[in-house]
Structure 1
Amino acid sequence: MRLEFEYGHGTMAAELPDSTDVFIPGETVADPPYIPEDKLKDAYLESLAHPIGMPRLSELAHKGSTVTFVVPDRVKGGEQATSHRKLSIRYILDELYGAGVEKKDILFIISNGLHPRSTEADARAIFGDELFHEFWPTGQIISHDSEDPDHMVDLGLTGRGDPVYMNKYVFDCDIPILIGHVQGNPYGGYSGGYKHSATGITNWKSIASHHVPSVMHRKDFTPVNGGSLMRTKFDEISMHMEEKMGHPFFCCDAVLDTNARQITIYSGYAKEMMPESWKIADKRTFVGENPNILALPMTYKKASVHLCMKNPAEDCMDAYGHVPPCMG
């Protein structure tokens, strides 16, 4: 059996045993219904008006408040006019301006983590022309620089002993806002929430505590697992950030379907909001108790297909991510 896996802007082929069970998101199991475009504004306003576990932004913000948006890079999330990034930012800005926040006190940071820093073209695609022209000329859209020690804050260690470094602009602001996408991740549970802050606005020293085979390829590895060691580390690191900041992140996350359309929108305190969002996201990513195949990206230039075979003798990746040349 030959299958083509999505990879970058194209695909990567793999020859697999004919007995392989194939799960294609959105096809093998249909996605939950997405929010129609004419209902999106109401959905965002409802979510922002009733955040989970914390006050709404209009109660937190006032004239003089400094606000930093943490916005995902182009890896996921869609770039259509109705994408979650574009709409959530616009409706949040409306609420902030209504509370007295001034435009000069707003900053956007593209949370690329250790990914390549975003270019001007990337920023235009992420934000759309309207937001881009509103904030780019004044230097209010920047890309996180994990190698800039002057704009990183050393927050010490988590209780587990993992180092925590954080973008200084986010640390120093009054209201840090995470814009996230809730989508299944092979290793770290779901994206968005605390995964976003633990990977997007830190540096290699912190990321090296979880993006390593000893954490990612444990014998108890299960894909899209909200209780894995890796996921637990994300939560611990981000909650440590909140403790040191003295206040929580305000999150606005959307559960997305296969075509990056919003299924539902959640806002509020990540610790309480994330489990609620996962209930919906799980409906499109759960593949059963014994999946046969998972596509796991290794790096941006190389990918490996991990066969989780019912017969362990046919499995070509060990618990620590070592892959013999079994794929040809």
Structure 2
Amino acid sequence: MKNIKLNYGRDSINLSLDEKNILGAIEGNEFKVSKSEDEIILDALHNPIGSPRLKELVHTGETVCLIIPDITRAWQRTDKFLYRLVEELNTGGVKDEDITIISAAGSHRKQTKEEHEKLLGKELSKRLCIIDHDSFDKENLAYVGETTYGTPVLVNRKALKCDHIVLAGGIVYHFLAGYAGGRKSILPGICSYETIMHNHSLCLKENLGEGKNPDVASSKLKGNPVHEDMMQAAAFLRPTFMFNVIAGHNGKIAAAVSGNYVEAFYEGCKIVDTMDGVTITEKAELVIATAGGFPKDINFYQSIKTILNAKEAVSEGGTIIILSQCSEGLGGNEDVQNMILNYDNLLDREKELRREYSISKDVGYIFCEIADKYNVIFVSDLDPELVKKANITVVKTLDEALQLTWNRKGKDLRTYVMTAAASTFPKMVY
């Protein structure tokens, strides 16, 4: 028997399985980091990809819009690198008063003074002002064109007025865009709500009943209309420079890229693949996955990354067991809860998603779509009635989940175990 420790909430659960049934443990790849965070940041800034250094691209008297993430992307640790970007701008002759910082909030809420300070760092927050983008503020939105996907692109006027736009953030797998980072600072970051929703709705196939487009997925860029639409939107603004970090498994900055906003972004995606893309040569009948414990399993909504990654390693019709405590229940807003609670079939859910698209509705739909194709069991404190219509079974213990699975499928199931499924992406090699 093989024993594997799986994080669950603020505690852990021990999994004991017959070794002959274990195909492998899918974990993040070893990624050696020999430099400090500051050394990584400076090395990237001093060695841009496809571009001169930032200080060589700007001049005295010019204005710069520095676009940074909002507090929901605090893992990008902007307070660790933002002042280095400002140093580059200052060295290039740009004064503090000529720098506009916009938080790419997309359709998210406004932020507090404390959150702004966290994003900028204490010293920089004393020197520079930060503006939250408001996707509903029509007076501060300007039309710049339409993409080939029919998305009308309206962006923040304050960004448009600047001589240069600099993108700052981080790259990670993203279930719609393939990867977060780069062009996402523009769309959804500083676009109108209508622009954002039209872009994200490209995740659906053309006709009702066809469901989601399989090309819209984590790690998928080529042929992904959501990503390609974002790239076209960013091209209307022609950002001067980009700086993005990649977080390591310990949450610290493990790598960074800078330079041309297209070339540097693609290079950063390769680094994410090296770190978190785990190659598999066959799919399993059973996948047992944990998000990695609190706060990644604080609620059902946050478990979306875990189940999306887990499904990549299981054959259709197989079983996915998710360890997600969900101490705060379903989570998310009314849209996701409505999608899970108030429909009992995928077609009606799809109709609602097409009627008025929102990301929260999409997340709710995805849970239900996966549960329609796989046998999904949650080991959780969640009330089982809440996800009953989504065709998801909830049990209190891992032993219960295993027994249910064995009763249905037998004990000898080819099994993968994912110890950090929220940030580990299985990539099938045929």
What TM-score comes out, normalization by structure 1 length? 0.78
Match of 1:190 among 179, 192, 195: 179
Q: What SS does structure 1 have at the residue aligned with 2:245?
A: strand
After superposition, the Cα gap between the structure-2 partners of 1:295 and 1:240, relative to the gap in structure 1 and judged at 3 Å, is farther
Question: Match for residue 148 of structure 2?
Answer: 159
After superposition, the Cα gap between the structure-2 partners of 1:41 and 1:230, relative to the gap in structure 1 and judged at 3 Å, is same
> CA separation in 1, counterparts of 2:118 and 2:148?
39
Q: What SS does structure 1 have at the residue aligned with 2:185?
A: helix
Letter in 2 for 1:285: D
Unaligned runs of 5+ in 1: 12-17, 243-247
After TM superposition, the structure 1 = structure 2 runs for residues 106-145 of structure 1, keeping only pairs within 5 Å, are: 106-135=99-128, 140-145=129-134
Match of 2:56 among 56, 59, 72: 59
* Partner deviation per Cα, 1:269-307 (whole Å, 9 max, x = no partner): 11111221111110222133548588999xx98455456
Letter in 2 for 1:34: V
Question: Match for residue 281 of structure 1?
Answer: 272
> CA separation in 2, counterparts of 1:260 and 1:233?
30
> CA separation in 2, counterparts of 1:22 and 1:77?
32
> CA separation in 1, counterparts of 2:102 and 2:22?
42
Task: Find out whether 1:313 has 2:301 as its counterpart.
Answer: no
Measured after TM superposition, the shift of residue 105 of structure 1 is 0.8
> CA separation in 1, counterparts of 2:30 and 2:270?
13
Question: Match for residue 90 of structure 2?
Answer: 97
Unaligned runs of 5+ in 2: 1-5, 12-17, 206-210, 321-344, 351-364, 369-388, 394-430
Q: What SS does structure 1 have at the residue aligned with 2:258?
A: strand
Match of 1:237 among 229, 233, 237: 233
* Partner deviation per Cα, 1:32-70 (whole Å, 9 max, x = no partner): 123532xx4443333223322223222222221111111
Q: Is the 8 A contact 1:77 1:181 kept in 2?
A: no
Indicate the RMSD between aligned Cα atoms, in angstroms. 3.5
After superposition, the Cα gap between the structure-2 partners of 1:220 and 1:148, relative to the gap in structure 1 and judged at 3 Å, is closer
After superposition, the Cα gap between the structure-2 partners of 1:219 and 1:235, relative to the gap in structure 1 and judged at 3 Å, is same
Match of 1:326 among 391, 396, 399: 391
Give the structure with higher Rg (CA). Answer: 2
Equivalent pairs counted in the alignment come to 300
Measured after TM superposition, the shift of residue 159 of structure 1 is 2.4
Q: What SS does structure 1 have at the residue aligned with 2:72?
A: coil
After superposition, the Cα gap between the structure-2 partners of 1:230 and 1:31, relative to the gap in structure 1 and judged at 3 Å, is farther
Measured after TM superposition, the shift of residue 318 of structure 1 is 6.9
Measured after TM superposition, the shift of residue 23 of structure 1 is 6.9
Q: Is the 8 A contact 2:49 2:259 kept in 1?
A: yes
> CA separation in 2, counterparts of 1:54 and 1:311?
44
Match of 1:218 among 213, 232, 250: 213
> CA separation in 1, counterparts of 2:215 and 2:60?
50
After superposition, the Cα gap between the structure-2 partners of 1:210 and 1:287, relative to the gap in structure 1 and judged at 3 Å, is farther
Measured after TM superposition, the shift of residue 313 of structure 1 is 3.3
> CA separation in 1, counterparts of 2:174 and 2:62?
34
Question: Match for residue 14 of structure 1?
Answer: none
Match of 1:44 among 41, 46, 56: 41
Q: Is the 8 A contact 2:177 2:217 kept in 1?
A: no
* Partner deviation per Cα, 1:83-111 (whole Å, 9 max, x = no partner): 3x123221122222122211111111111
Letter in 2 for 1:241: L
Letter in 1 for 2:220: N
Seq. identity, %: 24
After TM superposition, the structure 1 = structure 2 runs for residues 222-301 of structure 1, keeping only pairs within 5 Å, are: 222-227=217-222, 228-242=224-238, 248-289=239-280, 290=283
Q: Is the 8 A contact 1:189 1:225 kept in 2?
A: yes
Q: Is the 8 A contact 2:57 2:240 kept in 1?
A: no
Measured after TM superposition, the shift of residue 222 of structure 1 is 4.0
Q: Is the 8 A contact 1:255 1:277 kept in 2?
A: yes
Measured after TM superposition, the shift of residue 226 of structure 1 is 2.4
After superposition, the Cα gap between the structure-2 partners of 1:315 and 1:126, relative to the gap in structure 1 and judged at 3 Å, is same
Question: Match for residue 74 of structure 1?
Answer: 71
> CA separation in 2, counterparts of 1:46 and 1:133?
26
Q: Is the 8 A contact 1:188 1:231 kept in 2?
A: yes
